[in-house]
Amino acid sequence: MVQKDSEISELDGVYRLRIEIPFDVKFVCVFLFELEGKRILIDAGLNILPWKKKFLSLLKQINVKIEDIDYCIITHEHLDHNGLLKFIKRKNPYINILMHEFTNYSLNFSADPEKYAQMEENAKKFATLFNSYGMEQKYIQPILSWFLQWPKIVRYQQPDVILKDDDEVSIGSSKLRIIWTPGHSIGHICVFNEKNSHLFSGDHILSRITPHIGQYHMLSLFDSKYICPNILKSYLNSLDKIERLNPKLIFPAHQEIIENPLERIADIKKHHQRRFQEISKLIKNNPLTPFEISQIHFGNNLDNMNKYLAINEILSHLIYLEQENKVNRICKNGKILFTS
């Protein structure tokens, strides 16, 4: 059994390195295990000095150097999961870095100074769209400022292997299966070790909360084949894919290791069904903007970023219900409202 608050723990041959960060998610975990004599690292953490120092310290405590790691597989494009890639590759040029093709595209695009003008233009479109969803400009502007800081902190490292859905990474006679699981991010993947039924879930499945699911309007410049018009449906379909694998253990990037995977997946599905019902009841014969719904549903005392996350969550549910013909969209005085 793993102690949930321990910095280093080991379960079924998998080391979890749990490192605190000064943000809402509290801590980020990376996982290290051996397969056919090769060491595999899942995710590359956060590019801030305290996290990096702690990561190196924990590796030393288990007698592993970066030069000893053979593979690093990145679950998705968020910067708490790939931040140290350039550092790791510099320390160990022979390590194989693997990531999904969209994750590679996203990080490469974001880090390219020549794309900054396009990102600014897209930010203007985002502001207009979210204003039509009922969000006031005073809340939108700080969010845009944060988005436009993103290219300045991305440290792009070209991967050695580009992954797609259902790829298999062969390591000796064993295989790691790659499952594309869009939802929390578009390029998100889970890694399934077929030898012992371990699933490394990144942020796709967490032990106590449901991951943020949003519509990712800022990504509309990217390759259209990876734009998910109904991201929540994509997420729920991804849960089905994991359920069919019937993993023995799930190792998420935040919170605790999941020892009852199918039960946890069922709980997440029930959570979204409850939210569908709550939103439908709230707007029954009562048209509201997504922002108004988010304020009622999540409260109005959130900071600007959480206001954005809240409206994005509501939008993902509204769009799902709209495509199921269970809610209707109304345009009135330049605003978009939904009713059931």
pLDDT, tens digit, 9 for 90 and up, residues 176-190: 999 999 999 989 999
pLDDT band at 1 (very low <50, low <70, confident <90, very high): very low
From first CA to last CA, the distance across the chain in angstroms is 47
Question: What token pair was written down for 316?
Answer: 């993902």
Look at residue 221 in the predicted model and tell me its pLDDT: 46
| More confident position, 178 or 120 | 178
Mean pLDDT of 73-92: 95
Mean pLDDT of 99-125: 88
Question: How far is residue 236's CA from residue 275's CA, in Å, rounded to a whole number?
Answer: 14
Question: Which helix or strand (DSSP H or E) is residue 153 part of?
Answer: helix 137-153
Contacts of 123 (CB under 8 A, 6+ apart): 144, 147, 148, 218
Mean pLDDT of 126-155: 86
| Prediction pTM value | 0.93
pLDDT at 25 over 60: no
Look at residue 126 in the predicted model and tell me its pLDDT: 84
Question: Which helix or strand (DSSP H or E) is residue 171 part of?
Answer: strand 168-171
Question: What token pair was written down for 267?
Answer: 């709980």
Is the Cβ–Cβ distance between 184 and 161 less than 8 Å?
no
Mean pLDDT of 285-309: 93
φ/ψ of residue 14, rounded to 5: -110, 125
181-204 burial: b if 16+ Cβ within 10 Å, else e: bbbbbbbbbbbbbeeeebbbbbbb
Is the Cβ–Cβ distance between 85 and 72 less than 8 Å?
yes
Contacts of 205 (CB under 8 A, 6+ apart): 190, 199, 211, 239, 242, 250, 252, 258, 261, 264, 265, 268
Percentage of the chain with pLDDT > 90?
73
Mean pLDDT of 210-224: 65
Mean pLDDT of 92-117: 92
pLDDT band at 115 (very low <50, low <70, confident <90, very high): confident
